Amino acid sequence: MAPRLDVSGIWGPVTSTLDWCEENYVVTPYIAEFWNTVSNVIMIFPPLVCAIYYWRKGVELRHVLTSLSLLAVGLGSWMFHMTLWYEMQLLDELPMIYGTCVFLYSLHHHDKPRKSRNLVYLVALCFCSVAVTVIYLMWKNPVFHQVCYALLVAALVYEAIVAFRNYPAIQPLVLMSVGFYAFGFFLWNVDNIFCSHLRKFRNKSHFDTGMVFQLHAWWHIFTGFATYLHVLFSCHARLLHLRTHCSIKRLGGFWPYLEIGKTP
């Protein structure tokens, strides 16, 4: 089989500061990184359905916003991998920072009285979001974004541990979420470090390996699912605190969701 190298497509030259290991425009001229693009569905449909469900059930706005934050990352990431434009890269990476701030605020508040606000925490998170945005717009170094994001995720894992100590019922989802996230991060590193080997292997293969060895796409799947679980357990902890009847159910015995009773 002829080596499948990057080719050009309808979105023109790559202007992003990152170009992932997946070969560009080899599946279709309309999508730069095909598998990295379509794998974003996990960050689009489940949070969309979840946001509508939370809204209809009348849960606090911040939980609807956690769902919508994941949806925003999914849409931005779709646009970025489809075009490999710098502007779309920002649409992918900046919502990761904002979304994690929304998650932090929401989880930090799981045991606070209804309608209470922590203005200091809110201002600190807004300041953090604005500071990262301004610095990243001036200093276009992706490692800066990655370090800031990793620090926010570490803070979120800490908040999750505090929450499951208060409400042990959410422990299984917290552990699953952290486990899936860590495995996704492992694949993200393998994809970056061993890219040339993965490309050689995919090109030498006698059959079309499809998405199987597109590890950035698998990073989307694992972290997208881990973040969806986060959206569930964050709301679950809050509803347990508010003594609203709710429990984790599995659609078709597989897909987890939070079944919410009547809000008191």
Ligand X SMILES: CCCCCCCC/C=C\CCCCCCCC(=O)N[C@@H](CO)[C@H](O)/C=C/CCCCCCCCCCCCC
Residues between 125 and 144 that touch ligand X (CB under 6 A): 142
- Distance from CA of residue 126 to its chain's centroid? 19
Structural tokens at position 59:
């849960």
Smallest gap from Cβ 20 to Ca ion, in A, equals: 5
- CA dist 77 and 188 (Å) reads 15
Distance CA 27, CA 75 (A): 20
Site residues (CB under 6 A) for ligand X, limited to 168-207: 177-178, 181-182, 185
What's 23's DSSP letter? P
**For the chain, how many residues are written?**
264
Distance CA 121, CA 75 (A): 28
User: From CA 248, how far away is CA 191, in angstroms rounded?
Assistant: 33
Contacting residue, 10, 150, 161, 162, with ligand X by CB under 6 A? 150
Comparing CB distances to ligand X, the nearer of 1 and 137 is 137
Is 230 marked within a binding site?
no
22 annotated to a ligand binding site: yes
Alpha-helical regions (H) of 12-170: 34-38, 45-57, 61-83, 86-108, 119-138, 142-166
**Residues 1-30 close enough to bind ligand X by CB under 6 A:** 18
Interface characters, 18-37, with Ca ion (x: CB under 5 A):
-xx-x-x-------------
Is the distance from CB of 195 to CB of 21 less than 8 angstroms? yes
149 binds, among Ca ion, ligand X, Zn ion, none (CB under 5 to 8 A by kind): ligand X
Contact 71, 51 (CB under 8 A): yes
Residue 190, strand partner residues: none
User: Residue 93 binds what, of Ca ion, Zn ion, ligand X, none (CB under 5 to 8 Å, by partner type)?
Assistant: ligand X
Binding site partner of 49, from Zn ion, ligand X, Ca ion, none, Cβ cut-off 5-8 A by kind: none
- In the complex, the smallest distance separating the C-beta of residue 156 from Zn ion, rounded to whole angstroms, is 19
- Of 54, 78, 85, 103, the residue at the interface with ligand X (CB under 6 A) is 103
Residue 134 CB neighbours (<10 A): 10
Q: Which of 27, 128, 148, 160 binds ligand X (CB under 6 A)?
A: 160
Q: Judging by DSSP bridges, how do beta strands 255-260 and 246-251 pair with one another?
A: antiparallel
The annotation status of 19 as a binding-site residue, yes or no, is yes
Of 15-23, 98-106, 126-134, 246-254: span binding Ca ion (CB under 5 A): 15-23
CB of 20 to Zn ion, least distance (A): 7
Rounded least distance, CB 103 to ligand X, Å: 5
Please report how close the Cβ of residue 78 comes to Zn ion at its closest, in angstroms: 9
38 φ/ψ angles, rounded to the nearest 5 degrees: -70, -25
DSSP state of 22: S
24 is in an annotated binding site: yes
> What's the min distance (Å) between Cβ of 88 and Zn ion?
11
Where do contacts with Zn ion occur on this chain (CB under 5 A)? 77
Contact residues for Ca ion (CB under 5 A)?
Answer: 19-20, 22, 24
As annotated, the binding site includes 19-20, 22, 24, 33, 81, 216, 220
